[in-house]
Each structure stands twice: as C-alpha cells, then as structure tokens.
C-alpha cells in the first residue's frame, strides 16, 4: 500500500507539472518546433530538386514525393494540435493531451528517420562535392576557358557518337567517368556552355533520337512506348511530357502532323 501511495503521488506530481507547462504555452513551443521543421523540409526540397536534375537523366526513382506526403501529414497534425489547444481552454484532459503530444513527437521522429533512410542523391565517391549548388556561378572554380571548351567539345562528340543517353539510368557520374573528367567540371560545362542542367541536356538528345526513329517509321514496329524505352525513357508519361515540352506536340500528334 505504501508503494502504491508513493507511485500515485509521483504520478500526480508529474501530471501537475505537465499541466503547469501546458498553461505557460507548452503546446505553442511544440507548434514552433513543427514550423521550424517544416521550413527546413521545404528548403531542402527546393535544394535537392535542383541537385536531382543535375545528376540524374531519369528521376522516377529519386523524386521527392515522399516528402510532400509527409508535409501534408505534418501540417494536418499541426493544425489538429492547435485546435486541441483551443479546446483545452474549455475542457482539459491531462492524460488525453499527454498521449497526443507523445504521438506528435513520434510523428516528428518518423519524419526525420524517413528522410535518413531515403536513397542518396549522390554516389559515395562524390560526397565531398554533394553539398555544392549546381547553379552557382562557380566563382572559385579552377576551370579555365580553354579546358572548358575542350570538355564541351569532347562531350558533344561522345554524346553524338556513343549515344550514352540510351542508357535509361545514366548519371552525370557515369558520363564524367567515361570522359575521364572531373564531375564538377562537367557539371559546370553543361550549365555554362549548354545553359542546361544534366537532366535537360540528356533528355534533349533522347527526344531528338526519338524523332529520328519516328521519321524512320520505327514506331510501326516498336510502338510509341517501344520508341520511348529504346531512347532511354522509363515511363510513357515522362516521355510524352518531355516530347511535348521540346517539340510542342505529343508523340502521337507529331506522327500525325508529319504523316509518319
């Protein structure tokens, strides 16, 4: 009985202390924490979307849709949290509120762990340069104009002759290795000489290759989806979207318009 009375008193003290924290704005502190995390997430979405387009020629496996889903969950929980805060002013249940806040903190932890477990945007050997923005003006770059022109020329010849863009999983790391050039230099050349990111450059070549196959009427043997796969696309929707973006027509419209 003595032990039972001790634990009851201890529990009541803990609950009373929590009630005091709540009265001085504990739920507000949690909401501020939520907004800070949300701001960090939004910033990183903006940052890494650029990095994805600068490193991958296909983005189906490395998109950030999972973050968008978590943001929606996060905002919903934050709104619920504030609503409960207002309800507490009228009817306050300490145990229910404590349970909710524990759940709230678990959700925050889940979001953090989810981010850690996602696929890396950069390969391990490029971690040292992974944090650099791809669209900066390269003020500290040691790449001179002569070397820049040399790399641009070699890149153009390699793309036209070897057609590495037909590999649907082509990454800028692969291209840099094939050309035996520094990855950061190659990225700078693509940005400054071609005025494109890696994703746009490679898919421009893919769309041009698809157009050539259409002119050769290969689509009659391969089908439009077959043409898309043969030039390096993983999905029909991405192929259709980019084809229309670069040509002004969908593949079907292009075929009909040119009577192919």
Closest by CA position to 232, among listed 10, 58, 33: 58
Tokens of 76: 């919903």
Q: pLDDT tens digit string along 173-231? A: 999 999 999 999 999 999 999 999 999 999 999 999 999 999 998 888 888 999 999 99
Mean pLDDT (whole number) for 47-51:
74
Q: Distance between the two ends of the chain, CA-based, in angstroms?
A: 91
Q: What's the DSSP call for residue 167? A: S
The SS3 assignment for 235 reads coil
Cα–Cα distance for residue pair 197/66, rounded to 1 Å: 23
The CATH architecture annotation of domain 145-257 reads: Orthogonal Bundle (1.10)
Q: What is the pTM of this model?
A: 0.63
Classify burial at 9, counting beta carbons within 10 Å of its beta carbon; exposed 0-12, middle 13-18, buried 19 or more: exposed
Question: Residue 171's beta-bridge partner residues?
Answer: 56
Q: pLDDT tens digit string along 57-79? A: 877 766 666 667 777 777 777 67
Phi, psi values for residue 55, rounded to 5° = -125, -25
Tokens of 115: 């981010």
Tokens of 86: 């207002």
Which stretches of 176-229 are assigned E, i.e. beta strand? none
Q: pLDDT tens digit string along 78-134? A: 677 667 666 666 666 666 667 777 777 777 777 667 666 655 544 444 433 433 444
| CB-based contact 198:53 (threshold 8 Å) | yes
- Where do the structural domains in the chain lie, given as residue ranges? 2-121, 145-257
pLDDT at 201: 95
The SS3 assignment for 56 reads strand
Phi, psi values for residue 59, rounded to 5° = -110, 5
Cβ atoms within 10 Å of 98's Cβ, excluding its own: 15
| CB-based contact 206:165 (threshold 8 Å) | yes
Greater confidence, 170 or 27? Answer: 170
Tokens of 170: 């082509």
Cα–Cα distance for residue pair 9/2, rounded to 1 Å: 11
Contacts of 114 (CB under 8 A, 6+ apart): 66, 70
Cα–Cα distance for residue pair 144/185, rounded to 1 Å: 10
pLDDT at 107: 72
Cα–Cα distance for residue pair 222/137, rounded to 1 Å: 43
What percent of the chain is predicted at pLDDT more than 70?
70
Q: What's the DSSP call for residue 124? A: G
């Amino acid at each position: 009985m003595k032990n039972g009375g001790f634990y009851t008193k201890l529990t009541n003290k803990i609950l009373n202390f929590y009630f005091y924290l709540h009265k001085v704005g504990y739920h507000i502190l949690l909401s501020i924490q939520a907004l800070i995390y949300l701001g960090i997430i939004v910033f990183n979405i903006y940052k890494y979307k650029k990095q994805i387009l600068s490193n991958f020629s296909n983005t189906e496996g490395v998109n950030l849709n999972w973050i968008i889903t978590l943001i929606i969950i996060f905002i919903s929980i934050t709104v619920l949290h504030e609503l409960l805060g207002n309800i507490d002013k009228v009817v306050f249940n300490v145990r229910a509120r404590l349970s909710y806040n524990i759940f709230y903190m678990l959700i925050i932890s889940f979001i953090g762990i989810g981010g850690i477990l996602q696929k890396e945007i950069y390969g391990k050997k490029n971690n040292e340069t992974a944090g650099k923005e791809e669209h900066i003006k390269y003020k500290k770059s040691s790449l001179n104009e002569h070397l820049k022109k040399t790399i641009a020329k070699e890149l153009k010849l390699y793309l036209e002759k070897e057609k590495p863009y037909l590999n649907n999983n082509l990454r800028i790391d692969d291209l840099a290795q094939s050309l035996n050039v520094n990855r950061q230099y190659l990225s700078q050349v693509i940005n400054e000489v071609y005025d494109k990111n890696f994703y746009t450059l490679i898919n421009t070549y893919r769309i041009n290759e698809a157009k050539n196959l259409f002119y050769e009427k290969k689509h009659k043997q391969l089908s439009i989806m077959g043409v898309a796969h043969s030039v390096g696309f993983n999905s029909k929707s991405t192929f259709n979207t980019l084809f229309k973006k670069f040509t002004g027509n969908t593949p079907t419209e292009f075929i009909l318009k040119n009577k192919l």
